[in-house]
Structure 1
């Protein structure tokens, strides 16, 4: 796997965040590539420092993907009902917007949300 073998912090062929490149602001996804690399190497704390929202969201996404793959293999039609809840969808995107704003504030403790390495 590419993210296991190569560290995005040290490899030039990974695409940088266009928003951060142009504006200097961190988007909600900034640090995700480096966080995935660290997760694949078992460094959960380091991954959390790069992008806590992604690290906390990953188990939900993996569970949903597991249900989808299970449905495909066994021909079932189970659904992860959380993905069909308007409250969850709007709440999650609202949380992502709040996270986006807070991680760009230069004040403690909000500056801890910025990807650090």
Structure 2
């Protein structure tokens, strides 16, 4: 998206951040996309519950994923993050992906 518009999307830098996480560089990954890095534990927990349900035949649910407050709140956070990371002044310019 940056190539066409000059603006960073909420996912810009995610691929490089995942690469750095797989190499153990949490701080480097955080510099590329802090929202994605902070979201990974929630996603891993959700996938873990789903896998455990499949393996053990249970039906536990992560109620957080069924909460309208969480879903709309996270969507609002992503929109706010998208706006703030494109502001050209400190401290918001720290949210832009940097190498």
* TM band (smaller chain): over 0.9
2: CA distance, partners of 1:82 / 1:102: 26
Q: CA deviation at 1:29?
A: 0.4
Name the TM-score, length of structure 2 as normaliser.
0.98
Higher relative contact order, chain-length normalized (CA < 8 Å, sep 6+): 2
Matches within 5 A, 1:1-117: 19-117=1-99
Q: CA deviation at 1:86?
A: 0.5
How many residue pairs align between the two structures? 99
2: CA distance, partners of 1:55 / 1:79: 23
Runs of 4+ residues deviating >3 angstroms: none
Which structure dedicates a bigger proportion of its chain to helix? 2
Name the TM-score, length of structure 1 as normaliser.
0.83
Instruction: State the superposition RMSD in angstroms.
Output: 0.5
- Could you tell me which runs of 5 or more consecutive residues in structure 2 were left unpaired when the two chains were aligned: none
